[in-house]
Amino acid sequence: MKAYIISRASNIENKPLELVDRGIPKVDSNQLLIKISKCGLCHTDLHVIEGELRQTKYPIIPGHQIVGKVIETGSDVKNLKKGDRVGVAWLYKSCGSCKYCKKGMENLCENALFTGCSVDGGYAEYMVSDGDFTYSLPEGFDDVQVAPLLCAGIIGYRSFKLINAEKGDKIGLFGFGASAHIVIQIAIYTGCEVYVFTRSEKHKELALKLGAKWVGKATDSPPEELDSAIIFAPIGSLYINALKTLRKGGAVASAGIYMSDIPQFPYELLYHERKMISVANSTRQDAQELLLLAAKIPIKTEVEIFPLSKVNDALILLKQGKINGAAVLDCETIQ
């Protein structure tokens, strides 16, 4: 099979992903062989490629928003069958036996494997997935539209849950890429008002198109005090910007797996029971709930499509903030 691998950490501007030819992987008893159709691009892919995640095992095939069809199942797989359209997300597998798994916190599993980071992912023609961590996909979404839901959607949904947003709340979104453009649809469906902070004029236009009450830059003051906020950009100083917008008792969550250092700030910004929350990975329940909700709303993803052969170029655009909505690789178009 054809696949793009990263052999060692390097800046994406060096175009370090290389095309290789490998044998099609074999399945174990509880695994599936998937013929990949599409794979979404994520900022986490950049962190894997540029060496910012200690979990990364090189060489690795990145990619963890994977859509495809089952072409082979292991003998113990009961929930899925050959021909099913399925998705694979960031959490490849949890151990089920550590203290976090036993408490229902599999997203914090001490022995977790992550797709496209510690096991091979979706920048390829085929992949092997774990049968218990592979998802049936809702009807009504084509492969391109559903791919961004498998990380941008899931982690955005978990972030939204953790800030305990309710109908009538005023929510701030700092950064407006793949995840935020999905979360805004969830928030508005819930009955929230959404205030978007972004530098990009294209992102501002998309936010207003999707129903934002207000858009501005991270340094701007919104016209209303906010109940909560979610940070999507990996910039630690945004915590300070977000805290300045919050009412007493408000919460700000960071949806990223990586963030630059948070600068020192006065305690009064955090006082009055304001909360700072980090969001780590997601559970299978998050994925299942998000996919059901996406079909119910229904969520419409804004997508730019790239052939797999243009993966380096697409990731450079992603790093530069030049993707409007989400970027998706067509893994059926290799050259």
User: What's the whole-number average pLDDT of the chain?
Assistant: 97
Summarize pLDDT for 128-167 with one digit per residue, the tens: 999 999 999 998 899 999 999 999 999 999 999 999 999 9
Summarize pLDDT for 117-132 with one digit per residue, the tens: 999 999 999 999 999 9
pLDDT at residue 335 greater than cutoff 90: no
pLDDT at residue 315 greater than cutoff 90: yes
Q: In what order do the strands lie in the sheet with 226-231?
A: 214-216, 193-197, 170-174, 226-231, 246-254, 275-278
Q: What is the pLDDT of residue 333?
A: 78
Percentage of the chain lying above the pLDDT 70 cut: 100
Summarize pLDDT for 268-299 with one digit per residue, the tens: 999 999 999 999 999 999 999 999 999 999 99
Cis peptide preceding 298, ω within 30 of 0? yes
The span from the first CA to the last CA of the chain, in angstroms, equals: 13
Contact yes or no for 31/119 (Cβ under 8 A): no
Average pLDDT over residues 214-233: 97
HEC secondary structure over the chain: CEEEEECCCCCHHHCCCEEEECCCCCCCCCEEEEEEEEEECCHHHHHHHCCCCCCCCCCECCCCEEEEEEEEECCCCCCCCCCCEEEECCEEECCCCCHHHHCCCHHHCCCCEEECCCECCCCECEEEEEHHHEEECCCCCCHHHHHHHHCHHHHHHHHHHHCCCCCCCEEEEECCCHHHHHHHHHHHHHCCEEEEECCCHHHHHHHHHCCCCEEECCCCCCCCCEEEEEECCCCCCHHHHHHHHEEEEEEEEECCCCCCCCCCCCHHHCCCCCEEEECCCCCHHHHHHHHHHHHHCCCCCCEEEEEHHHHHHHHHHHHCCCCCCEEEEECCCCC
- In Å, how far from its chain's centre is CA 170? 23
pLDDT at residue 303 greater than cutoff 80: yes
> Half-sphere exposure of 79 toward its Cβ, with a 13 Å CA cutoff?
11
**325 band by pLDDT with thresholds 50, 70 and 90:** very high
Reported pTM: 0.95
Q: What is the pLDDT of residue 55?
A: 87
Summarize pLDDT for 61-97 with one digit per residue, the tens: 999 999 999 999 999 999 999 999 999 999 999 999 9
Cis peptide preceding 59, ω within 30 of 0? yes
Q: Regarding predicted confidence, which is higher, 49 or 55?
A: 49
**311 band by pLDDT with thresholds 50, 70 and 90:** very high
| Bridge partners of residue 214, in order along the sequence | 195
Domains along the chain with CATH numbers: 2-150+301-330 (3.90.180.10), 154-278 (3.40.50.720)
Average pLDDT over residues 182-207: 97
